[in-house]
Structure 1
């Protein structure tokens, strides 16, 4: 089996490889729940689990690399908010014409931010094809030991709520799952991410080595990323994995959840012309906007078919955009 990879809009292929042993400690959603054990054993198991988590979290949090980068991201978030960026409103005060919506959709859904020449990433934009999911999407969350229990709960809740929103917008079968999924979201600190390769290979057998390397060596300027995969040359996604830095403060963390999960649905590119939108590197908006909701509706409209090119999609995209922004629809 070959996998075609999209790393924030990058295509690549790689042979199947056997899944190695798990890497850094992450919460195991498939573990036997302690509630199934007898009372005395249950209490002991809970106490032991709490002690293990506290020990592992303390060890992970003490890393100078993780502490330094956490401080860096707190400063970044404070600076962006002070400049009026990372807005958390839906952007409805900003008008969008049908022509602009159609053009933005073409730029974001039918172009790639990067192309791949072997292991090298080449900056785009590069014309591509329309890609999306046909099978149900099941989003699983895994967290490194550095993430405190209360934060894990908040992260899982936010992912679940956003998955429900994606399902409503697209009409597609999308849901969070406590078990194994085909779209895995990993919350990892600096040290956990640098050694996540074995776990990635276990989640996605056949993941290209250069994708693992890209994830393990993310520059500080990259807060999060998503890699979506299809079988061979198919335009239909079969698996995806998103990496979100555990050191991110709340506003940047939520922004990453919104952008990476939405991009993993098939809106793979960014455009400097898209506004109001999270698919724009200007960081003006931190959360999915009303414009972005329309993009998701368009992406899963049955009149658009996976594999369409810029040329074949142009006319139906214009029609759908005009319908979505008709006076009785706004």
Structure 2
């Protein structure tokens, strides 16, 4: 299940005013007048995002923890996967882009994970159901999209849900699964849902916050399947494994499988990251989940930061704690800036968290512009459009480019700013979808200039 609130905090409100109303002015002149047509939407190729070397010791541990546990901590006693050739079909009012994105993803799964997977109009183990966003929210208010075992369509899901028959821990194999994705959302959200939910339909249904470079992580920093994720799926469908195997049986076979499919990984030392405390997970979910007051969110974020420090966690999870605390306290700019700087310093320790740094760069650069320091904003932002492009995150890429354009305007480089802003809007159409959302994002960033001038 892809989390809705967390995605919004990370991607859709990179410079948004604080929930309590402090921050940007409410009315600004539009930088993209309605009489000016938006440029065509841009989209990414199906090329895999770049990756560093992967340790076999880390992969084995990650695979076991992802495969034999649920997010709740409940144990899964046996390995399950789809037997034989994997076939998918699409049902419901699916836009053409859904099929295009799905074909691109299937191509990557075939080439990178070695899966025999294809779309079909006939019988299929996995059905991708295009439904409305309202249907998703009525069923699971906190979800952007989700995957369910043992059913094929919405009617079967509702019937099985009332009977209590849906339980991943009771599966013996995966011969019938339904993915539910909203057809009326931004293209990027649709694509992200396909990546995450198809990966979980095929393989692990768990998420681990300790993973810095994976969609199998509830922080939603990565939005398309990474090399790590493709390796996890390749392991899931290794011929040495089969449905019904226990954790111990799988663990005994993993070293030989990894030596075959990732021979260089034996020479790479394990990171040895500690498990994530359940209390930290609960605090983060409270800070970012539905049904919590602003004060409750801030308190939960503070609690998450304390737990991470007390547990001796020094990796991206500590940085994420600082980042979320900053996002939830943007009405207090000095406090929020200190938290973003703390997060950035932690993310800077590892090349695997460059994408994480792109998010903090957006926050800090927005504050630089507010503080009338446009050159500092440009210097800060310089490396990160390339990072966002490589990670195929159009919403983040467009935001970074809009911030750069705003900084250029502050420096009097209006022609360069106009060109960059126009270029950003093609990516914004993919990342944010509706024309009103695209223009709203551009106006939101432009409001930084209005605020400085006032």
TM-score bucket (shorter structure)? 0.5 to 0.7
When Rg is computed on C-alpha atoms for both structures, the one with the higher figure is 2
Distance 1:154 1:127, change over 3 A: same
For 2:149, which of 215, 228, 251 is the aligned residue? 228
Contact 2:110 2:117 in 1 (8 A): yes
Deviation digits for residues 271-318 of structure 1 (CA, Å, limit 9, x no counterpart): 112231110111121001011111111111111121112111112123
Q: Does 1:140 align with 2:82?
A: no
Distance 1:91 1:101, change over 3 A: farther
Listed as ranges, the matches of 1:161-240 within 5 Å are 161-191=104-134, 193=135, 217-219=139-141, 221-229=142-150, 235-240=172-177
Q: CA RMSD in A?
A: 3.6
Aligned partners of 2:91 and 2:226: how far apart in 1? 27
Other-structure match for 1:106: 64
Other-structure match for 2:98: 155
Listed as ranges, the matches of 1:1-330 within 5 Å are 77-79=11-13, 90=48, 92-113=50-71, 123-144=72-93, 152-191=95-134, 193=135, 217-219=139-141, 221-229=142-150, 235-327=172-264
Distance 1:161 1:178, change over 3 A: farther
Where relative contact order (Cα < 8 A, 6+ residues apart) is larger, the structure is 1
- After TM superposition, give the deviation of residue 75 of structure 1 in Å: 7.5
Distance 1:180 1:301, change over 3 A: closer
Distance 1:259 1:234, change over 3 A: closer
Deviation digits for residues 69-119 of structure 1 (CA, Å, limit 9, x no counterpart): x9x98776323699xxxx998564444311111111111122223xxxxxx
Count how many residue pairs are aligned between Structure 1 and Structure 2: 221
- After TM superposition, give the deviation of residue 171 of structure 1 in Å: 4.0
- After TM superposition, give the deviation of residue 138 of structure 1 in Å: 2.0
Contact 1:185 1:243 in 2 (8 A): yes
Aligned partners of 1:328 and 1:97: how far apart in 2? 4
Aligned partners of 2:62 and 2:15: how far apart in 1? 25
Structure 2, gaps ≥5 residues long? 17-43, 152-164, 269-454
Contact 1:186 1:244 in 2 (8 A): yes
- After TM superposition, give the deviation of residue 172 of structure 1 in Å: 4.0
- After TM superposition, give the deviation of residue 328 of structure 1 in Å: 9.2
Aligned partners of 2:122 and 2:103: how far apart in 1? 13
TM-score (norm 2): 0.43
- After TM superposition, give the deviation of residue 229 of structure 1 in Å: 3.0
Aligned partners of 2:47 and 2:116: how far apart in 1? 26
SS at match of 1:223: strand
SS at match of 1:175: strand
Deviation digits for residues 24-44 of structure 1 (CA, Å, limit 9, x no counterpart): xxxxxxxxxxxxxxxxxxxxx
Aligned partners of 2:182 and 2:8: how far apart in 1? 12
Aligned partners of 1:107 and 1:180: how far apart in 2? 32
Aligned partners of 1:303 and 1:81: how far apart in 2? 49
Contact 1:269 1:279 in 2 (8 A): yes
